[in-house]
Structure 1
Amino acid sequence: MIHDTSRRIPEYIMGRDYPRAVTIFVSANHYQPLTQISFMLSKKQLASIFAITLLINGSSAAEAAEDHQFEKTPKLGTGNCNPLLDFLHVADPTAVVHNGRVYVYGTNDQQELDSVGRDGKNSYAHIHSLVMMSSDDMVNWTYHGIIDVEQAAPWTGEKGVSWAPSIISRAESDGLTHFYMYYSHGGGGVGVITATSPVGPWTDPLGHDLIDVNTPGLTDCPAPFDPGAVIDENGVGWLSFGGGRSSKATTFLPGSARIVRLGSDLLSLDSEISEIPAPYFFEASELNYINGTWVYSYSTDWVDRTEWNDPEVSHPSICSIGYMTSTDPLNRDSWKFRGDILKNPHDYGMEYTNNHTHFLRFNNEYYIFYHTNHLADFRGITTGYRNICVDRLEVDENSIAIPTGQMTQTGVSQIKPLDPFAWQQAETVAATSGIKFEHTDVAGNMVACGLGSGQQSEVRGADFGKGASRFEAKVRGKGVIDIHIGSPKGKRVGSLVIDHPQWQTVSVRLGKKLKGSQDLCFVYRDGDFKFDEWRFIR
């Protein structure tokens, strides 16, 4: 075969002197040593050689991917946008908007799977980290890595499990935006970590749980976990939480959902702890504040609905996400159940699972983040590993009526084009196959690593306008990045050859100008290298 080094030929074609000397490198396959051959070619002959090279290398790129068996994905080449990430398992979403991006965080189910294996049940016992991702277009997601809560809060101990975060932010007197991440410290408490960037670094300001079973004023709440936080229009913070069954529990009213007003520092409590009388309450508390109204959402229990006395609204369905509203949140009797926001994934054609959601307004639309087992099921993993998804949600801000939403594999539409002429991170992806990432010294910045064995990544909706003529990337190691249009089997427009032991920005001229809106697929082959960022040049 002709090795990809010959992709440099189009630049030779632009020369003026023909015939001219050309050097190419050949090998029997991708892994054999290269042999150098030099000879004279006319312009016409050279163009023919280049065309043949494109054909041969197009098939070899596909073969490279097929030679290595990676976990299947329901996203690559399909146009599906759910789940948000397809290279690791993440659950229990929370989200915040900052500087035109939505940042999403969740429980690191992947840590449990890596600890117990594909056949091991997800008991959450090995999870002590959270996952970060963000997007400004809702389709291409930037993976910002993990928050090692055990490292940020050493007092939690080696087995200090951390799940189900809830994040709020506000601008403070130092001119910075401060982020407050509340999280379940197992089933027995709520911890908090803070940062002045949505991707950290994160630190623990308290050295202990904000809430646990020994908190003064907290009674009859056996599992004070799964926090849901919000800041109201007056800048006051609120926190909901709870789980288990109170001593007075009935099937209809377990009696363990709670809400409290936070202190001005958002790190203390500033009111009595009040009950939210959530019917068929189970877990997964979350709070929103819309037009003077507190909106409490939660996961309902798996039990049969044997009791219901409200003729104005149907009872919550089995293990659904229900919601309640109040204009006086510390008044237990002010809360009213309004209906299901989402039903169980089984009602949308997927497998049964628990759920945890967060909804917010972004770019003048409401979106709801939730999790399903679809990615695990697609891969034949049936032991309870979950992934965050997103769909549109209709919210009437006047009446606070929220019709039951949908769970789809299609997901949501891209709300803005990706700019291919700005530097884009290798960890910004719409779909992947076989990709792994590692942290750098910069908080929230990752690099793709271990590339060169047929891995693939896809970005969608890149707007090239009148055209791009070159591609460049910051890379390190040895290998090749093939650039395809649309999918791994789509037309290949360029191949970037990498041979640098240190980080280097390398470029290649495209075989044909890219114009208009395009989905791109990068195929990584013939080596072992790392990939940090990329862009196209007009």
Structure 2
Amino acid sequence: MFRQKVLVSAMVAMSLLGCTKNTTAQVNADEPKEINEDLEAKFANVSPKLTSNNANPLLDFMFTADPTAIEHNGRIYVYATNDYQQYENVGKDGKNHYGFIRSLVMMSTDDMVNWTYHGIINTAKLSPWTLNSWAPSIASRLEADGKTHFYLYYSNSGVGTAMLTSTSPVGPWSDPLGKNLVDRSVPGVDCESPFDPGVVIDGQGTAWLAFGGGTPKTKYLPDNSRIVKLGTDMKSLASNVAKIPAPYFFEASDLNFIDGTWVYTYNTSWDPRTEWPYGVDKPTQCSMCYMTSKTPLDQNSWKYRDNYLKNPGDYNIGPYTNNHTHLFKFKGKYYIAYHAMYLQDYFGTKGGFRNVGIDEVQVDEKDVNIYMGKATFKGTSQLNPLNPFVLQQAETTAGTSGQVQFEAVGNPGNMVAKGKVDKQCLMVRGADFSQQIPAKFEARVKGKGRIDVYVNSLKGPALVSLICDGNEWATLSKKIERTIDKGVANIYFVFNGKDFLFDEWKFIY
């Protein structure tokens, strides 16, 4: 049963509000007057992204770390350690010792500034035999069944490397092994922590896995970095495990394949650089470095090249922390995904909780040179405008009012925003109104709540408002009485309501 505040028919109610009932829907007939509120001031100290042009961190409503990425159908999908799960367990006064993390985070974009949050991969449920899930690495390949298969490797705490598979970048995921792919029981592994995997598929379709970590036995050339060829099934080993002589190696192994060359990247230790027999500058402490090889199983073939990203603390975007990156190419540009403690002040914590950011980096593919990058709040530029006249997900954001909650509903990877009594905000950047002026706004919603839509600024009256009061999913639309200037704009969705859910939206011209 639906609730109405006055006894009028649904047709009269919709006429009063200018709403169209596209599915089963119900709206309040007595729309409350808009309260004059300084929304910019209200949200100013919650998120560093909402009212700025910053693109970092990628998600500003939760903590994420240790990124990896894969391209699929014109989108880049990023997977990360779920630091927010640790935060939820220990609270803002607790420490991030990573012990409560048993899930991974999924997100994607087609423009590098508006990110769609796809929820979590629940490794505790999928692989209950594992201890933790950190530092994923992913590869994909078109297989004989005509489907693209995704192979996701991750750290099972510090004891080994586990894996999951799917035929979609957002799942459902499955555990094909029920055990570690590599751990200390595998001959040749023989390193303290066979974790932090990095996977790559080379030009011949062969997959390779790097891993390793631990307390250095010797500061200059610690003996903990490994690489192995994977079997054609991506879940077995097809070679002996080889060592990589990585100077001051600590953790965070990753692999790329560029122009016939294997590129191994890793995080250096905090130890002083007392020995340095190379013709390039010493890397700073806990920075990211890279090596190259044409024959990766030959230990002597690996050549140290340089460092390419300093510690986030060196860039003044947060305190010093561990370091972990992934290098990838998307739409003709190279990027570094990494983590830094962007959000600690906004969440009121000093516990060591991290967030993924991305910045562009220059790569010379011919000589396989990675030039020094930089970690920033500004982040990446928008590659293409967002189309507001096609269906968009409420979980696609370039900024929020901070600590917005989302809930999984429907198909794997689909999330909906959850209302609260107090107002929250979602923002998308670079929406293209240059060719069309919107005449209506519609949204798929459920429960009792309100959405006020603003364009380019949170000041002044809302462009349009929707009010919902129904216990079933409904697509509501509202005629827009005001006009906006043609051009590219940011859109702000201010919403609230207990038990209110916001799934999708679009404008209609």
TM-score, scaled relative to structure 1: 0.87
What is the match of residue 429 of structure 1?
397
1:242 correspondence with 2:209: no
**SS of aligned partner of 1:512:** coil
Structure 1: how far apart are the matches of 2:76 and 2:265?
20
1:150 correspondence with 2:124: yes
The count of corresponding residues between Structure 1 and Structure 2 is 487
* 1:107 paired residue among 81, 86, 99: 81
8 A Cα contact 1:61 1:525, kept in partner: no
| TM-aligned CA distance change 1:6 to 1:491, over 3 Å | farther
1:267 correspondence with 2:235: yes
* 1:185 paired residue among 152, 156, 166: 156
What is the match of residue 218 of structure 1?
189
What is the match of residue 141 of structure 2?
170
1:152 positional shift: 1.1
Residue type at the aligned position of 1:329: P
1:520 correspondence with 2:491: yes
* 2:132 paired residue among 148, 153, 161: 161
Structure 2: how far apart are the matches of 1:75 and 1:329?
42
Residue type at the aligned position of 2:282: H
1:346 correspondence with 2:313: yes
1:8 positional shift: 7.2
Residue type at the aligned position of 1:343: K
What is the match of residue 530 of structure 1?
501
8 A Cα contact 1:452 1:480, kept in partner: no
Structure 1: how far apart are the matches of 2:37 and 2:377?
31
Residue type at the aligned position of 2:111: D
| TM-aligned CA distance change 1:58 to 1:410, over 3 Å | farther
1:203 correspondence with 2:174: yes
| TM-aligned CA distance change 1:488 to 1:357, over 3 Å | same
Residue type at the aligned position of 2:458: P
Residue type at the aligned position of 1:59: N
8 A Cα contact 2:446 2:501, kept in partner: yes
Report which stretch shifted further, 139-148 or 332-341: 332-341
**SS of aligned partner of 1:289:** strand
| TM-aligned CA distance change 1:203 to 1:70, over 3 Å | farther
What is the match of residue 34 of structure 1?
none
**SS of aligned partner of 1:329:** coil
Structure 1: how far apart are the matches of 2:396 and 2:453?
15
1:485 correspondence with 2:485: no
> Could you give the per-residue CA deviations for residues 194-248 of structure 1, whole angstroms, max 9, x where no partner exists?
00000000000011000011112222x01100000000000000000001147xx
* 2:94 paired residue among 95, 100, 120: 120
8 A Cα contact 1:485 1:491, kept in partner: no
What is the match of residue 18 of structure 1?
none
> 1:362-373 alignment to 2 at 5 Å?
362-373=330-341
What is the match of residue 39 of structure 2?
62
8 A Cα contact 2:14 2:29, kept in partner: no
1:527 positional shift: 5.1
Structure 2: how far apart are the matches of 1:452 and 1:135?
30
| TM-aligned CA distance change 1:526 to 1:90, over 3 Å | closer
Residue type at the aligned position of 2:477: S
* 1:398 paired residue among 366, 370, 383: 366
1:320 correspondence with 2:292: no
Specify the structure having the higher radius of gyration (Cα): 1
Structure 2: how far apart are the matches of 1:80 and 1:8?
41
**SS of aligned partner of 2:141:** strand
* Larger proportion of helix: 1
**SS of aligned partner of 2:129:** helix
1:25 positional shift: 4.1
1:441 positional shift: 3.2
Q: Percent identity?
A: 52
Residue type at the aligned position of 1:204: D
8 A Cα contact 1:458 1:487, kept in partner: no
| TM-aligned CA distance change 1:252 to 1:200, over 3 Å | same
What is the match of residue 358 of structure 1?
326
| TM-aligned CA distance change 1:137 to 1:369, over 3 Å | same
8 A Cα contact 2:200 2:209, kept in partner: yes
1:416 correspondence with 2:384: yes
* 1:448 paired residue among 417, 440, 464: 417
Residue type at the aligned position of 2:505: W
Which is bigger in relative contact order (C-alpha 8 A, separation at least 6)?
2
Structure 2: how far apart are the matches of 1:61 and 1:489?
7
1:151 positional shift: 1.0
What is the match of residue 304 of structure 2?
337
8 A Cα contact 2:92 2:347, kept in partner: no
8 A Cα contact 1:284 1:298, kept in partner: yes
**SS of aligned partner of 1:462:** strand
**SS of aligned partner of 1:306:** coil
8 A Cα contact 1:467 1:516, kept in partner: no
**SS of aligned partner of 1:112:** helix
Structure 1: how far apart are the matches of 2:373 and 2:205?
29
Residue type at the aligned position of 2:422: S
RMSD: 2.2
Which stretches of structure 1, 4 residues or more, deviate above 6 A after TM superposition?
A: 5-10
* 1:78 paired residue among 47, 52, 55: 52
1:24 positional shift: 8.2
Structure 2: how far apart are the matches of 1:368 and 1:360?
7
Structure 2: how far apart are the matches of 1:474 and 1:338?
52
* 2:272 paired residue among 290, 298, 304: 304
* 1:257 paired residue among 201, 211, 225: 225
1:294 correspondence with 2:271: no
TM-score, scaled relative to structure 2: 0.92
> Could you give the per-residue CA deviations for residues 415-442 of structure 1, whole angstroms, max 9, x where no partner exists?
0111111110010001111421011131
| TM-aligned CA distance change 1:24 to 1:286, over 3 Å | closer
1:11 positional shift: 5.0
> Could you give the per-residue CA deviations for residues 130-174 of structure 1, whole angstroms, max 9, x where no partner exists?
000000000000000000011111222xxx211000000000000
Q: Which runs of 5+ in 1 are unaligned?
A: 13-22, 28-52
> Could you give the per-residue CA deviations for residues 438-476 of structure 1, whole angstroms, max 9, x where no partner exists?
111310011111345210010011112221110000000
1:9 positional shift: 6.5
8 A Cα contact 1:451 1:530, kept in partner: no
1:62 positional shift: 3.3
